[in-house]
Every structure is written in structure tokens, then in C-alpha cells.
Structure 1
């Protein structure tokens, strides 16, 4: 086998390796896209949790506000 034959074999092998690398790249690209989508959804969930915490905090303050209002009205009636 001459140099030309070896060169053709090496070229074919390099082409096969390139195809394998391209397939891996496609797979990794899809995985990256899924990871980005997950992170976006996760960020949205965190925002929702923060909103629920704020509402819970406000609801926790509500009994005191009701109590204060009732006491003010009672005090207003007594005077």
C-alpha cells in the first residue's frame, strides 16, 4: 500500500471521528437546552415561593391589625 492509500485511510478515519464528535455535540447541545429550560422554570418557581412568603407574612400580620382596629374602635366608643 502506498502513501496515497494510507492517506485515504487516515482521511476516512478522521471523517468518522468527526461524525462521532458532531453527534456528541448535538447530544450535549440538547442537554444544555434542557438544563437552561429547567433553570428558567426553577427561577420561576423561586419567584412564586417568594411571592407566597410575602403573602404569608402579610396574612400573619392580619390578626394584629384586626386586634388593633378593634381596640381603637373600642377605645373610641369608651371615650
Structure 2
């Protein structure tokens, strides 16, 4: 993500499991039905809140190389 938040469009599209009707159930031993929905908004307060949430998430995230190392550790531990 090399683009500053301010250069993004003023519309956001989200997929969420917080609201919505159940999606088509998957088949298989480990499948489960989940409620999901898509949302599109251009409301300024929604965009401001999402922008702030993404800034906070980015601030808390590990650098790429450290993230990669953590994923490798987890893969080795759990496989």
C-alpha cells in the first residue's frame, strides 16, 4: 500500500460478516454457513471512521519482513 489515504476515492466498498443474510452454504466436512453482506458508502463520517481505522491498523502492523517471519513461524509450528 504505497498510496496515501487522501488519494483514495471518496467511496468505499466493504464485505462484512456483521450484517446481512446468510450466504449460500458451502459444502464439505469443514464448511459452515455465515452471514455476510456488502456495503457501499460515500457518507463522510463513514469514510472518516474507516480511514482512521485503517491508519490505526497500519500503525500497529509489523513491517513486511517481520510479518513474513511470523507467518513462517506459525506455518512451522502448526504443520
User: Structure 1 length normalisation: TM-score?
Assistant: 0.26
Instruction: Name the larger-Rg structure.
Output: 1
Higher helix share goes to which structure? Answer: 1
- Return the structure number with greater relative CO, CA threshold 8 A, min gap 6: 2
| Higher normalized strand content (fraction of residues) | 2
TM-score normalised per structure 2? 0.26
